[in-house]
Structure 1
Amino acid sequence: YAYWSVFAGSFGHTYGNNSIMQFIKPGVGGAYGAKEPWYDALNNPGFNQMKYLKNLMLTFPFFERIPDQSIIAGTNGERYDRAIATRGKDYLMVYNYTGRPMKVDFSKISGAKKNAWWYTTKDGKLEYIGEFENGIHNFQHDSGYSSGNDHILIVVDSSKDYVNKEWDELPDAQQRWEKK
């Protein structure tokens, strides 16, 4: 739920791991299925994937970003098939949990031409898709439709340099902002 929450306008997200929240340790039973010691749960994939969300959010001008579902053109899905969008003046992002096909309106941000990337939430990998004209475009990640096959479509005004076409992952954005 992290990307849905942050794209909808929340300021952050706390990773909810029952073993960590309950400080489960050997010999002490846990609730809600928690069995793993809390210190082992620190190595779970979800815990370590939160850095990708943080880095993505800090890559773009943070305080101008707003939720904007008008970016999704046509019919949006329901529940887990629902895509959620956020944007600034010259960039937009769409989170898609299932990899379902979606229509995205590029005219919601500045620029006649836009560059687009897929961002993988599980490992922070970045894949340049290409340059596009303004308008409504259809997208579906090559990995297809399935629960938990989540990716983020990133679209940026081609005159901006938030993301480089050659990158296969985003650099540490926090260091960039700390230098300013």
Structure 2
Amino acid sequence: MSEQGPELEIVHLLRKVTAEFALRQAEFAARNGMHPTDVRALVCLLDAEREGSGVTAGRLGAELGLNSAGTTSLIDRLERLGHLTRTRDERDRRRVLLRVTPQAVELGWAAFGPAIGSAVALLREFDAAEVAAVRRFLGGFLAAVSEEGGGAGATGGAGATGGAGAGR
């Protein structure tokens, strides 16, 4: 691998990390009666919450690449499992916003918290310039993957953002 250079070694290492994280997400989904797309949906909702934006069914479906029927089925399933709630938008009562429940956040932290904690601890060993370099690389790589896949890489690779509850 070293004859490929350190750049490709890092790209391959990132691929291994994302594949391993995707496997852990699939195992988490199966253990908790969910489909892997359900976990991606929860991650999308948590990301939006962190950004301070509300998510409608239409936006969630678009981010996941689902049609209306598939989105409704996913939302109904997550609501039945107690992982999601629908609430009226306070600013526009016609809009219904989706939110992850505290129960789902706790479930996600129980599964993914140790890995997230290890990553945070590791990053705390880096100086500000190293953290900036990691952020720049991951942001640039995400943009490249998202552009190449027509946006599918951004949501399909949600393992980079964590599992259900990872966005706390």
When normalised by structure 1's length, the TM-score is 0.27
Choose between structure 1 and 2: higher strand proportion.
1
> What's the TM-score once normalised by structure 2's chain length?
0.28
Structure number with greater CO (CA < 8 Å, separation at least 6) is: 2
